[in-house]
Structure 1
């Protein structure tokens, strides 16, 4: 039970303060335990952070499971994936920077990048082809890159402490217009995929 409490406290601090602000003393205080017990269970802060990151990135990986639900139209699967993925990024905005930077501090990031290269982007590319009819791999990858850049760029600029949680919104750094994740993604799909859009 104490081990789970320590992991939960670590995840909460990563979410609320960002990875770089997490310390063993803060984790101990949040979990209602002491530094010695954390070291007993995990051996070091690095090992504890690795376990926490592994749990978070496993959640990220689960977003790709929507692509396996063939009962939904491809455009619905694509939109649901983006909504789910963006929701995770809202909770862990500085994690995207770690992933994009292939942060060597966390082995789990390397594992996640490997998954993305081997399976994630393959699933995403397949559904993009289903939605658009485009089969040229280079074009599909460029479209995917555009989609990720447009939707996920705001998360790379958000400080985890200042993200606006009450309305589940992100503040645009350019125009300072609060907009919900759902509204942002709806607008993107209406503009970018309007040729392929069905009633969702």
Structure 2
């Protein structure tokens, strides 16, 4: 769905507040104030707070699913190249959208939030695409057998989310205080991507 500038402002404001305060602690009034609109406008465009958070997830999910499918189905590129690109794209996506991913982390541990099932279905579909790609690589003799794909996906998401959500602790522990926020983000994207690419190639290509 295409959104106008007012709708995008509402979505971005809601995403920021849901990430910092949680879904239940954020009111429609808070979102309206943050976005600089009246409450009636949010009701007109989205209907309810539940529909608003659903719109945020759908907006992000549809884009990621399209990118993931396009990358892993590109038979003109090697399996290793596609694997590397998958990691790079995922890390870039997480690091560049901290509010959304903090919101997702919060939502996943609150089972009473309406989007919980939407998150589950999205994670399941993404896992199936990655699993099919790795299985195809195994059939072609590129990847080794007996790979725990579920744990690989958990490692990808867990490591990236951890670095993203504790970035300033990582900065201090790595003696990187001299970096600006934008420089730190660029460093983390490259450093995290390279670590995960090397790890997954060690698992998928080299016999244990």
- Give the alignment's TM-score, normalised by structure 1: 0.68
Which of these residues, 89, 94, 101, is aligned with residue 94 of structure 2? 89
Bigger proportion of residues as helix: 2
User: Aligned runs of 1:93-104 on 2, under 5 Å?
Assistant: 93-95=101-103, 97=105, 103=111
- 1:62 maps to 66
1:192 offset after TM fit, Å?
Answer: 4.6
Q: Alignment length, in residue pairs?
A: 182
- Higher RCO, 1 or 2 (CA under 8 Å, sep at least 6)? 2
Q: Are residues 1:181 and 2:178 paired?
A: no
Supply the RMSD in Å over aligned alpha carbons.
3.6
- 2:153 maps to 148
1:176 offset after TM fit, Å?
Answer: 3.0
Deviations 1:76-119 (A, max 9, x none): 111111111122222233355368669552042143134235x4
Whether the aligned pair in 1 keeps the contact of 2:32 and 2:38 (CA below 8 Å) is: yes
1:196 offset after TM fit, Å?
Answer: 4.8
**In structure 1, distance between residues paired with 2:141 and 2:189:** 22
User: Aligned runs of 1:158-169 on 2, under 5 Å?
Assistant: 163-164=167-168
- Give the alignment's TM-score, normalised by structure 2: 0.66
**In structure 2, distance between residues paired with 1:176 and 1:148:** 26
Which of these residues, 87, 108, 127, is aligned with residue 118 of structure 2? 108
Unaligned runs of 5+ in 1: 165-170
Whether the aligned pair in 2 keeps the contact of 1:93 and 1:158 (CA below 8 Å) is: no
